[in-house]
Structure 1
């Protein structure tokens, strides 16, 4: 199984539809779980938290809703890709599907409510939960092949918790630019 996280910034960059089409072409018939970033919806949560000064638990829940909104967007563009909410329901499905995270499941798993943990870390967590063979993160930012995870974290291409969530990964981690996926 492959867990493939699409950065929410791909929608703002105007390349989201092309990325979804590329996934469909390259991974047809494969077990792939597409993890949506929160994108513009998560950006609105950040702005609202600055304005209203609500706590990180509330912001985390709202950011998960942002991922769920992106999952609906992905499904609207690819209606034959089902949305799956529970991790257990992702096992042994030989097709492309979209993960829409269940906040209660993440709470039970002890995933902290923090902006240090974004959809990048959640994708790493999910890859471990489903025993994925590979985690692919598709970003709109420029990615040089020689950069390590700590360098990508320092450049804020990966979230602050990603290295912790992937430290004991038994899966391959590939981080690419959108143009690599679409090429």
Structure 2
């Protein structure tokens, strides 16, 4: 995918902050503060849907409405969590245009609501959650790294398909990873683990 924005550094990191971190309020606040402080360099934040998305799953299970509608409601859940993150850390700015936010010098939190209109690159199913959307955005913005902040650590030596099988990332994540040339890092309570190096690192 071509780089869509200008005016922000090439060493951009897309950071997906899992909604499951809501269960650890102190850690969530620390994570958001560190991102606002610039400890990971220039970043754009992708919010997980957390309990808001879980409510969509539960309601779909009870009522049986189709996956495309559930996908759109889950995007709304991500948008809601973006606003919660900005309320917890006021230096974050919610935007539907993270490239524009970066160019303006802010720390953007992505509101993915426009994707509810549909996008040919994004299947409307539970196989695609905020994990894969973070990779999609990272590829779209030409980011150097996609960092997923999780409430659990990956198993030692686990490859991307293993992470998908165990549910640490969504089912579509390995496929979306093929569209992204940068590094993929998971940050659990135990620290960072590089799951895949950048294209240049892999070619070395």
Pairwise same-fold verdict (TM > 0.5): yes
**Rounded Cα–Cα distance in structure 1 between residues aligned with 2:168 and 2:47:** 15
**Rounded Cα–Cα distance in structure 2 between residues aligned with 1:106 and 1:129:** 18
> Does the CA-based 8 Å contact 1:12-1:40 persist in structure 2?
no
Residue 23 (structure 1) aligned with residue 46 (structure 2): no
Residue 165 (structure 1) aligned with residue 176 (structure 2): yes
Residue 6 (structure 1) aligned with residue 6 (structure 2): no
**Rounded Cα–Cα distance in structure 1 between residues aligned with 2:116 and 2:144:** 22
> Does the CA-based 8 Å contact 2:36-2:92 persist in structure 1?
no
Residue 52 of structure 2 aligns to a residue whose secondary structure is helix
User: What is the CA-CA distance between 1:78 and the residue it aligns to?
Assistant: 1.5
> Does the CA-based 8 Å contact 1:19-1:178 persist in structure 2?
no
**Rounded Cα–Cα distance in structure 2 between residues aligned with 1:79 and 1:93:** 16
Answer 1 or 2: higher relative contact order, Cα 8 Å, separation at least 6.
Answer: 1
User: What is the CA-CA distance between 1:147 and the residue it aligns to?
Assistant: 1.7
User: What is the CA-CA distance between 1:90 and the residue it aligns to?
Assistant: 4.6
> Does the CA-based 8 Å contact 1:32-1:95 persist in structure 2?
no
Residue correspondences, number = 180
TM-score, L = length of structure 1: 0.89
**Rounded Cα–Cα distance in structure 2 between residues aligned with 1:138 and 1:178:** 9
Q: Kindly tell me: are residues 173 and 180 of structure 1, through their superposed partners in 2, closer, same or farther at Cα, counting changes over 3 Å?
A: same
Q: Which of 48, 71, 82 is the equivalent residue of 1:37?
A: 48
Q: Which of 67, 83, 91 is the equivalent residue of 2:78?
A: 67
User: What is the CA-CA distance between 1:25 and the residue it aligns to?
Assistant: 3.6
> Which aligned runs of 4 or more in structure 1 are off by greater than 3 angstroms?
90-95, 103-106
**Structure 2 equivalent of residue 146 of structure 1:** 157
> Does the CA-based 8 Å contact 1:4-1:136 persist in structure 2?
yes
**Structure 2 equivalent of residue 180 of structure 1:** 191
User: What is the CA-CA distance between 1:140 and the residue it aligns to?
Assistant: 0.4
Unmatched 5+ stretches in structure 2: 1-11, 193-204
Residue 49 of structure 1 aligns to a residue whose secondary structure is helix
Unmatched 5+ stretches in structure 1: none
What do residues 117-162 of structure 1 show as CA deviations (whole Å, max 9, x unaligned)? 0000000000000000100001101224522111111111010000
Residue 44 of structure 2 aligns to a residue whose secondary structure is strand
